Structure formats: C-alpha cells, structure tokens
Amino acid sequence: MNFITSPTRYLFFTGKGGVGKTSLACAVAVNLADRGKRVLLVSTDPASNLDDVFGIRLLNTPKPVPGVAGLAAVNVDPEAAARAYRERVIGPYRGVLPKDAVRHMEEQLSGSCTVEIAAFDEFTGLLTNNAIAGEYDNIVFDTAPTGHTLRLLALPAAWSDFLNTNTNGSSCLGPLSGLNAQKERYEATVSALADARQTTFVMVARAEPSALAEADRSGSELAALGLKNQHLVVNGVFTPDQPGDVIADAMAARHRAAMLAIPDGIASLPRSVIPLVRHNLVGVDAIRNMLRDDDSADASSNLPSGLIEAVDLPPLADLIDEIEATGHGAVMTMGKGGVGKTTIAAAIAVELARRGLAVHLTTTDPAAHITAAINGTLPNLTVDRIDPVAETKAYRDGVLAASAKTLDAAGLSLLEEDLRSPCTEEVAVFRAFARVLNEARRRFVIIDTAPTGHTLLLLDATGSYHREMMRQMGKVHRAAGAPSNTDSNVSGITTPMMKLQDPSYTKIIIVTLPENTPVLEASRLQADLRRAEIQPYAWVINGSLSATHTTDPLLRARAAGERALIEEVRDRHAQRTFLVPWQAEPPVGSSSLLRLIGSPDMTRMKGEMNKPASLVRPSQV
C-alpha cells in the first residue's frame, strides 16, 4: 500500500457508494498519525458519517480525534457552508434594499447549486489556506460517492473558465465580484489536484462487477480532468473459514470472479486488497485494526451453536402487492450509497411489469447502474436515465431558441454566457425530474435516486421551486383581490414537492443494510424527509445474512450483529419493514430479481424474457 508508506500530501478516497471509502480513509488517517504524521481528515460527503465512526461531534473547523495523537478531523457541512455563503452575499444589502428584494435574493440563493458551490468553497480553502493546511503533513479527503465527487472536482476548472469568459457582472450565485475574489484560489486548487507529487486519488471498490466498473469509469473521468495519479483498493474481499457452506462458497466465488475480471482501464493501476472483517468498523480500535494482516478478534467464539435466528419480516413481494393496489403512482428508492437502491428499484419495476402493468424505470444517480441491473428486456417496461449532460444541453438550446425572437445579438450573447454557469445543470436536471414525476398520474414510475446527499440536494431544488411557485402565484391572487391565505394553497397548482408530500401519489422507500452506518444514515434521511413534510412509506432491509442461515463462522458473526439493528428499524423507525436475504446468485437480470422478491410465479417470466423489446428504450429522458 504505497499510498500509505510513501504518501503524497493530499489523498482523495472516492468510489461507488457503500464500498467503504469512509472506513478506509479513517484507517489510513489513523495509520499515518500512528507513524508520527500530523494528519487532517476531511469529509466532503453531504451524507458524512465521520462523527459516528469516531464517536465525536465534528465541526467545520479541525477537531482532535481522541485516542489518536496527531489526527484532527473536520466535516464540510454543505448546509452550514451554504448559510455562511448566503450571508456573505446578502448581508451587505440588509437595511439597504427593501425587504422584498432581500427576501427574493434569499430565495434565489436557496437552491442546491448554492449548497454545492459553498461546500466547494470550503473544500478549496482547505487545499490553499496555509494557515490551516500548513499545520499538517497529510490531508485525507473522504469524498462523496463518485458522481458527486466528479462534479466537485470539475468545479474549479468550470468556475475558473466561467469567470474568465463572463462579462455580464453577475451569475446565479450573486455578483461576480465576490467570485472573482476566489479566482486565484480556484486556480491553485486545479494545480494542486493535477500534480502527482502532491495528490493521489484512491479509488475504492468492492469485489463486485458494478463497483469495479464504477472505479474504471471514474478513473477515466478523473484522468480526463488531468488527475492521473491513481491507486485501486478492493475492499471487503471474502475467503471462507471452511468450505461447504452454500452462502460462503457463493460469496467467495463471486469475489474471485470479480477479481479475475477487473476492467482493463484499472487493471494496471497499483492495487491493494483488504479482506472482509467480522466486526462493525465503528470506534478507533476497530478502525485501527482494519489494515492489520489478521482479524484476530474471533467474534464467533461466543456465538450460540446452530443457526442464527432471523427476525420474522415480510418479503419484498408483499410491498409490491401494496404498490400494485394503487393502480399507478411514483415509487422512489432512497438511502445511503451501496445499500442496493438500484436493485430494489429494478426488482419492483420488473415485478410490476410482469404483472402486466405499464412501468417507467429511471434514475437520477450520476453513476446510473439501472440498465445493468435489468440486464435484458421485458414488455411493459421502459428503462432510461436522467442524463445531466443531455438535459443541460437540451435546456440551454431550448432557452436560447425561445429567446431568439425577443433578444438582440448582444442580449443573446449575454444569455448564452450566463447559461454556461455550472448552476444551469441543477435547473435542467430538476426539470427532467419534475417531468418524470408527472408521468405517475397514468402509470407506475419507479425512480432510483442517487446516494443520500445528492438526492437531498435534488429535493432541495424541488422545495425551492415549490416555494417560489407558491409566492409568485400568491402575488397573482392578491392582485386579483384574493385573501392572503391563498399563498400556500393556490388553486389549480400542483408542484413537484406537493407530489412528493402526497403518499397516495408518491411512495418513498428507504433502503438500508443491517449494519450500523447504513441504518443510522437512513434514520437521518427519514428525519430530513419528515422536516420537508415527506413521510416515507416503508423501509427495505437488504442483504441480510441472518435470513440466509449461513454456517460460516465469519458470516455468522456478521449475521449475529444484524438482529438488534433489524429490530431497531422495525420498532423505532419504519411504519412498514420488509426483509431481503443476501442472494447467493447476483441479483442481476429479471429472473434473479424475481427470486430476490420472493415471487412464487417464475414460469411466466421465462417465456416473457424472450419477447421483443419494443417497449424498452434505454435512452435519455
């Protein structure tokens, strides 16, 4: 692991959600500190769980980690950063401009684009502020899942280009004078990231085709940004303690096959392999042991003999029965990266389509693995994705075409310049999301969302649109003589947020694993949704080893740790809870997805899998 023995100053950990980026970043930071280095560990993930790993409350300023001399940690809180950013932009105008004008500015800066750029501003400060960075030998970044990370890493160049070419004096983030003040910082960030002597990108994957494919894709995209100093870590590779257990043998065979089929783009990279551990990676001791050669703490020694008793919960097929009964509507799978949102969304869509219902399956996840999960075609099922690049281009072209009749050449030039802002993507993706959501009036729309942080940014854009629509329509009604209380209930207007808040229209399914961090993240997600007056319909606990009755000692140790978490979800968090066992056969393709569901009717599917795919269109929305 040369990125630890001879580390560069900056280490970025990235990869598909749920592959263990946070655990590995923490383990490396602890390892470096134990070797006498002064280390700063930074999370740029909107759904960060550094606090839970170390058991301390982290802030947006460095805080020492108890039990690890020389290690400090910091959470870049996107919401806090956005509040501070808004105040920097709006503060000088308070008491100067009319209150309505200030409120309008606040609304303009309430969207997810402001959150992202504010978090980016904090991120660049950590790389370029010598007053902070100069105190440390190494800075370790635990980043968001890959799609979000690539957006973040592309921002320095995007904003530098935008500032160099924009002559309009303003942007969707306020006056350009404020952004120009940061231009040198942005350029210094670009330089530091591209310098192989300063920065290493550690791409973390599991021994799974989708995770390795994601590492391959992100490696190529990082290289295209000039970020070529890369190292591959395959985490959680399982070797059975003893042969003969069906589940253990299947897991080991799956991992071996994935390791033999590592994509060519990353096969030549320096590589490290980390074995699966039997204990939860929470607390300094557990994190410190992660990189040791042996997992000597035999957690299975105190287990009862025989099988681990599973908690009795209904299968996914029962949830689909409830969804089918509504006849149409939207279903959104949400949760921490890597918990199986895509698989659960695909399984629900395939089963509804098998039952003869019209289904549109789509994704807002930048990683977009939905087509691979289906791995085939099926009548009644349309599969596609919301492509940010395609949507942004279509939005820009549409705005320019619509404005060509009313603007002169100079006006069109200014408009085109403003549409080159990175914030335009937020608007374009939101429009596509709202369009797809609207389809649920007449058929089932299954939406596989991005990992938690990215999804919350999307929902924030939905909320901003909702508030602006209600305010503007309220003005129209007041001008017509309507009472002021119509502002929040304008007749005839249904915004996307209203659809998300209506359980008869949209069912939010929270997907989690029976592990500490995913359950904690899911509970936080539910709290955030409830603050937005969105009530989750059900929780799905995916990949349960206790439901498989494995006899392998290491897997039994992990299965034994599941029970308390499953009961916590059932008793404290979820209105409805459904359990999906870990699958010996990878849940890829319609037949495998039906087995995951627990559907008894397999004969009909076998014939349908060979029918023409005239209704399947894997394309952009």
- Per annotation, catalytic residue among 14, 15, 17, 22: 22
| Pair of tokens at residue 261 | 């089929």
Q: Is 45 a catalytic residue?
A: yes
Annotated catalytic residue within 14, 16, 17, 21 = 21
Give the DSSP H/E element, type plus range, for residue 235: strand 230-237
For residue 123, which phi and psi values (nearest 5 degrees)?
A: -60, -45
Q: Is 611 an active-site residue? A: no
Q: CA angle, corner 104, sides to 102 and 109, nearest 5?
A: 95
Rg (CA), the chain: 25
- Residue 398: Cβ within 10 Å count: 12
What's the token pair of residue 87?
A: 């105040």
The pair of three-digit structure tokens given for residue 241, joined into one six-digit string:
């303690």
Q: Do 529 and 535 contact (CB within 8 A), yes or no?
A: yes
Task: Say which residue the tokens 């308070």 belong to.
Answer: 94
Q: How far is CA 195 from the centre of its chain?
A: 28
CA distances from residue 235 to 205, 275, 569 in whole angstroms, order as listed: 6, 6, 27
Q: Which of 18, 329, 338, 543 is catalytic?
A: 18
- 176-212 exposure pattern, b = at least 16 Cβ within 10 A, e = fewer: beebeebeebbbebbebbbeeeebbbbbbbbbbbbbb
Within 10 A of 596 (CB to CB), how many other CB atoms are there?
26
Interacting residues of 304 by C-beta distance below 8 A, sequence separation 6+ = none
Distance between CA atoms of residues 182 and 176, nearest Å? 10
Give the number of other Cβ atoms within 10 Å of residue 607's Cβ: 8
Residue 507 among the catalytic residues:
no
In angstroms, rounded to a whole number, what is the distance separating the alpha carbons of residues 330 and 501?
Answer: 11
Cα 116 to chain centroid distance, Å, stands at: 14
**Among the options 15, 16, 17, 20, which is catalytic?**
20
Q: Is 264 exposed, middle or buried (0-12, 13-18, 19+ CB in 10 A)?
A: exposed
Separation between Cα atoms, residue 294 and residue 14, nearest integer Å: 25
Question: Which phi and psi (to 5°) does residue 75 adopt?
Answer: -105, 120
Known catalytic membership, residue 606? no
For the question of residue 149 being annotated catalytic, the response is: no
Catalytic residue (choose from 14, 15, 16, 23): 23
77 assigned to active site? no
Pairing of strands 359-363, 329-334: unpaired
Active site residue: 15, 45, 142, 453, which one? 45
| CB-based contacts of 333, cutoff 8 Å, min separation 6 | 341, 342, 344, 345, 348, 446, 447, 448, 449, 509, 511, 540
**Dist CA 519 CA 427 (whole Å):** 31
User: Which tokens in the block code for residue 23?
Assistant: 């655990």
d(Cα 94, Cα 87) in Å, to the nearest integer?
Answer: 10
Token code pair at residue 503: 């359980």
Question: Cα 506 from chain centroid?
Answer: 20
Question: Catalytic residue at 463?
Answer: no
How many angstroms separate the CA atoms of 15 and 229, rounded?
A: 15
Of the residues 517, 544, 577, 592, which is catalytic?
517
Sheet strand arrangement including 63-64: 63-64, 71-75, 39-43, 138-142, 10-14, 199-206, 230-237, 271-275
E runs forming strands in 388-478: 444-448
Which are the catalytic amino acids?
18, 20-23, 45, 517
